[in-house]
């Protein structure tokens, strides 16, 4: 039985960095992806998923290309039938302190280290590999080509959307339900009108500018 985890633990040591040998044969492969990297508010969320090779989940793809209802359906299947999964995050404070790239790496490290099983290989969406104690490979557009990364993308986006909708309940005047905290015209106008909230990333230029108004 899988245990859902949302963790915020210490970083894995930067010295424990390994890169996958091209000839390596991996038994347990985890996919890793993030959600919210380009947003103006809230944490960056990452997920790591080890799919069960004996249970095929049809329809896995980039989470942004799925309708919300279908994404939720797939998310439930991933939780029920994956060998292991973990969802983690890096806070707004960490984003502003360490920058968004390093904060994204933090969230990914936490997601991988929170798995119930130690993967033999981590497949990371994108072109950069965070410091990890397991072999890893970066795959550009991996959420399209690798089912495990697609699964991680889905879980990360579901959790990130849940956080954003909670923001909308707390601050309805900011209409987080519409822009999901991306730098849309509506969000920028409301940011100028009401000013930044505690959950806005002040290291991001549009928020920094709003702080000066």
CA distance 152 to 25: 21
Report the domain count for the chain.
Answer: 2
Average pLDDT, the chain: 90
CATH code for the domain in which residue 93 is found: 3.30.420.10
Supply the pLDDT for residue 103: 98
What confidence category does residue 213 fall into, taking pLDDT thresholds of 50, 70 and 90?
low
Q: In this structure, is residue 90 part of a structural domain?
A: yes
Q: Summarize the confidence of residues 70-88 as an average pLDDT.
A: 97
Which residues, including other chains, have CB under 8 Å from residue 97's CB and lie 6 or more apart?
none
Sheet of 136-139, strands arranged across: 6-7, 84-90, 44-50, 29-35, 121-125, 136-139
Tell me, yes or no, whether 161 and 174 share the same domain.
no
Query: Which residue range is the domain that position 201 belongs to?
Result: 170-211
Identify whether 61 is part of a domain.
Answer: yes
Torsion sign over Cα 27, 151, 1, 136: positive
| Residue 190 maps to a domain | yes
Asked if the model's pLDDT at residue 124 lies above 90, the reply is: yes
Same domain? 126 vs 180: no
For 42-54, how does the pLDDT look when each residue is reduced to its tens digit (9 = 90+)? 999 999 999 999 9
Instruction: Verify that 94 and 110 share a domain, yes or no.
Output: yes
Total Cβ atoms within 10 A of residue 125: 26
pLDDT tens, position by position, 185-207: 999 999 999 999 999 999 999 99
- The answer to whether residues 160 and 192 belong to one domain is no
């Amino acid at each position: 039985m899988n245990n859902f985890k949302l963790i915020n633990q210490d970083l894995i040591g930067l010295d424990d960095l390994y890169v996958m040998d091209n000839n390596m044969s991996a038994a347990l492969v985890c996919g890793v992806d993030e959600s919210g990297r380009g947003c103006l508010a809230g944490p960056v969320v990452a997920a790591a998923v080890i799919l069960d090779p004996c249970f095929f989940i049809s329809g896995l793809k980039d989470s942004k290309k799925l309708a919300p209802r279908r994404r939720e359906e797939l998310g439930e299947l991933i939780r029920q039938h994956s060998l292991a999964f973990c969802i983690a995050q890096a806070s707004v404070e960490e984003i502003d302190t360490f920058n968004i790239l390093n904060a994204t790496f933090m969230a990914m490290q936490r997601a991988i280290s929170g798995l119930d099983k130690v993967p033999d290989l981590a497949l990371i969406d994108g072109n950069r590999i965070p410091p990890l104690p397991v072999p890893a490979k970066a795959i550009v557009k991996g959420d399209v080509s690798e089912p495990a990364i697609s699964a991680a993308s889905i879980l990360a986006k579901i959790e990130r959307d849940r956080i954003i909708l909670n923001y909308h309940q707390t601050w309805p005047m900011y209409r987080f339900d519409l822009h999901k905290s991306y730098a849309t015209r509506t969000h920028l106008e409301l940011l100028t009108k009401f000013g930044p909230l505690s959950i806005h990333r002040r290291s991001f230029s549009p928020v920094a500018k709003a702080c000066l108004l």
